[in-house]
Every structure is written in C-alpha cells, then in structure tokens.
C-alpha cells in the first residue's frame, strides 16, 4: 500500500481540496485495508473489497480514492444514515469492519499542534498524527450482501409496465400483479415539467 502522504495527495486532488475529511477518510480506509489484509485494492486485490459508506460528505471521497471502490463498479454502497462511518468487507474471507470517526476526536485534537491557532487547521493536522484509537471506533461486524447488490453482470432486467423504463438488478417492484419501477410503485424524486415536450 502506498504511504499516507501520497494517498492524501491523490484524494485531495480528486476531491478538490484538502480538508479534515480527506485526512479522516484516508486514514480510515488505510486502517480498514490493513485490518482486512488487503494490500493492493486497486490492483491484484481489486475484486476483494466491498465498502458501505454511511454519509455523503468529504471523507467518502477519500475512502473511494484509497480503496478504488466506486458506485459504478458496484463495490461502493451508500447507506444514507448521516454517520461518519463506513463498513469494509473482504469478499474473499467474509471478514468485515465498521469504522466510525469519533466525535471526541475534535476535543482530543487540542492536545496536538497547539501552536496552530485556527481550530480547523489544527484539527486537520492533529488528525494526521493522532493515535488511531482516539480517531476511530472499530467494530468487527458481519455483513450479508444480497446477490442483487454484488458486482458483476445484472441478474435481472425487466421493463416497467407503466412508464416503460428498463429496470436492472431486481429493483423492480410487483404491485397488483404488475411489474413496476420504483418511481411508479413508490413515487418519484422528480416531477415532469412539460408533458408536451416528451
Ligand atoms: Zn472536503
Ligand atoms: Zn415505471
């Protein structure tokens, strides 16, 4: 695995700015990889890792950058819990760890880099050197990944009987004997502005 500073540079570049979230995300992902004994997540081990992130904030970009897991590869799953935590699964061994960024780390950061006056700048530098137990809570967990969420070819592809969109990966819903997409069955996140233009 590459060194922390190198990985932080890469994630900062991809994310667009250096922030505490990059430091936390890079350290979190590096820790997960070492706990799961995955050395080369973007090379030889690229099919071994599956990551579930619980928040869509800065650290998530860093996790994606270090692990190589992505939505498009179906190796990154977003579970919208608003918690700065992620679960990493070694698909070969089944071992999994959930790592949470500790809220207390903000307080602990005062012990480090006292010479930096700006709070956010101090936190950022402190998170780089703080011992791992002050920064993270680590839990061994078990994760059952449904076959329809696994990377690989789509298992099912059907057409919605209402809007005619094609639905992959078993996300279709049956309602009163009809096969529907989720938006037709459960409501959509958008509304059409101008039906005549369709
Ligand atoms: Zn950021
Ligand atoms: Zn539909």
What per-residue confidence (pLDDT) applies to 197?
Answer: 58
| Ligand 1 centroid, distance to 16 Cα (angstroms) | 7
Nearest ligand, measured from the Cα of 175? 2
pLDDT at 1 over 60: no
Residue 27 in tokens = 């350290």
What per-residue confidence (pLDDT) applies to 118?
Answer: 92
Question: What mean pLDDT value characterizes the chain?
Answer: 94
pLDDT at 38 over 60: yes
Nearest ligand, measured from the Cα of 184? 2
| Ligand 1 centroid, distance to 46 Cα (angstroms) | 25
What per-residue confidence (pLDDT) applies to 112?
Answer: 93
CA 18 and chain centroid, separation? 18
| Ligand 1 centroid, distance to 88 Cα (angstroms) | 21
| Ligand 2 centroid, distance to 194 Cα (angstroms) | 18
Report helix, strand and coil shares of the chain as percent, to nearest 5.
35, 20, 45
Give the Å distances, CA to CA, from 84 to 20, 26, 140.
12, 13, 17
Mean pLDDT score, 149-159: 88
**Dihedral of the CA atoms 18, 19, 24, 30 (nearest 10)?**
-10
The alpha carbon dihedral of 31, 35, 41, 47 has a sign of: negative
What per-residue confidence (pLDDT) applies to 196?
Answer: 66
| 167 SS3 class | strand
Nearest ligand, measured from the Cα of 60? 1
Mean pLDDT score, 37-55: 95
Q: Choose the weakest-confidence range: 24-33, 60-69, 110-119, 162-171.
A: 110-119
What per-residue confidence (pLDDT) applies to 171?
Answer: 94
| Ligand 1 centroid, distance to 118 Cα (angstroms) | 17
pLDDT at 101 over 90: yes
Q: Burial, 34: exposed, middle or buried (Cβ in 10 Å; 0-12, 13-18, 19+)?
A: exposed
| Ligand 2 centroid, distance to 170 Cα (angstroms) | 14
pLDDT at 182 over 80: yes
Nearest ligand, measured from the Cα of 164? 2
Question: By percentage, how much of the chain surpasses pLDDT 70?
Answer: 97
What per-residue confidence (pLDDT) applies to 155?
Answer: 79
| Ligand 1 centroid, distance to 23 Cα (angstroms) | 9
Mean pLDDT score, 162-185: 96
Q: Radius of gyration (Cα) for the chain, nearest Å?
A: 20
Q: Which residue has the higher pLDDT, 113 or 52?
A: 52
Residue 1 in tokens = 């695995």
Nearest ligand, measured from the Cα of 180? 2
């Amino acid at each position: 695995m590459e060194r922390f500073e190198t990985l932080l540079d890469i994630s900062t570049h991809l994310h667009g700015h250096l922030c505490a979230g990059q430091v936390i995300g890079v350290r979190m992902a590096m820790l997960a990889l070492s706990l799961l004994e995955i050395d080369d997540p973007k090379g030889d081990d690229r099919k071994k890792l599956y990551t579930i992130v619980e928040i869509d904030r800065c650290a998530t970009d860093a996790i994606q950058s270090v692990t190589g897991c992505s939505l498009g590869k179906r190796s990154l799953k977003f579970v919208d819990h608003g918690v700065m935590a992620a679960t990493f699964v070694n698909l070969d061994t089944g071992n999994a760890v959930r790592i949470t960024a500790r809220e207390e780390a903000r307080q602990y950061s005062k012990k480090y880099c006292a010479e930096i006056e700006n709070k956010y700048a101090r936190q950022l530098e402190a998170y780089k050197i703080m011992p791992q137990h002050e920064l993270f809570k680590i839990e061994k967990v078990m994760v059952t990944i449904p076959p329809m969420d696994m990377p690989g070819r789509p298992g099912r592809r059907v057409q919605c009987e209402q809007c005619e969109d094609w639905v992959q990966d078993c996300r279709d819903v049956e309602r009163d004997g009809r096969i529907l997409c989720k938006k037709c069955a459960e409501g959509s996140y958008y509304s059409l502005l101008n039906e005549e233009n369709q």
